Amino acid sequence: MKAKEIQELIDFISNSGLAEVKIETDEFKLSIKKNSDTPVVKHSENLIPQFAQAAPAPAPVETAAAPATNYLEVKSPMIGTFYRSPNPDAEFFVNVGDTIQKGQPVCIIEAMKLFNEVESEVSGKIVKILVDDASPVEYDQPLFLVEPQN
């Protein structure tokens, strides 16, 4: 099942009267349960990539920032695991202070063993990274704050 199919299934469940759906195949187990207005996705432990289990969890990246109202957000296009680099030994795609262009890769979201490169939809300077490396993220969750270019 591809990440887009999972997101479509979640959207369908959100708009239907269903409260819970479970799908099991030889390759994966997927359980989606609707709690209030937010769907939650659980998957079996064997789906987490090896390097995700071994990756250290660094402290969140912090910067002194002006009011967030001037900043644009780069958001997660899907539910999955957020990675700042293409592999554990590689450098991060972006760091605080980097200037990015629209269409530039900024991170990877892993969903169902598929690694999806996330491209920025805005141009500007990264002022804050809102998610720890190797952390789970939700659909439409802000990942980065970007000061737009003038």
CATH of the domain at 77: 2.40.50.100
The tokens for 99 are 């200037």
| 84 and 135 together in one domain | yes
The per-residue pLDDT for 28 is: 66
The per-residue pLDDT for 8 is: 73
Rounded distance between C-alpha atoms, residue 141 and residue 73, angstroms: 9
The per-residue pLDDT for 125 is: 95
Structural domain boundaries, residue 87: 70-148
Rounded distance between C-alpha atoms, residue 52 and residue 122, angstroms: 28
The per-residue pLDDT for 4 is: 72
The total number of structural domains that make up the chain: 2
The Cβ-side half-sphere exposure at 90, using a 13 Å CA radius, reads 12
Q: Which positions ≥6 away from 42 have C-beta within 8 Å? A: 30, 31, 32, 33
Identity of the residue numbered 102: K
Question: How far does Cα 117 stand from its chain's mean position?
Answer: 10
Structural domain contains residue 127: yes
| 101 and 136 together in one domain | yes
Average pLDDT per consecutive 10 residues, the chain (150 residues; last block may be shorter): 70 67 70 56 46 48 53 93 93 95 95 92 94 94 91
Helix (H, G, I), strand (E, B) or coil at 114: strand
The per-residue pLDDT for 6 is: 72
| 75 and 32 together in one domain | no
**φ and ψ at 20, to 5 degrees?**
-155, 145
Structural domain contains residue 55: no
DSSP bridge partners of 22: 31
Could you tell me which of 6, 48, 3, 13 has the C-alpha nearest to residue 33?
13
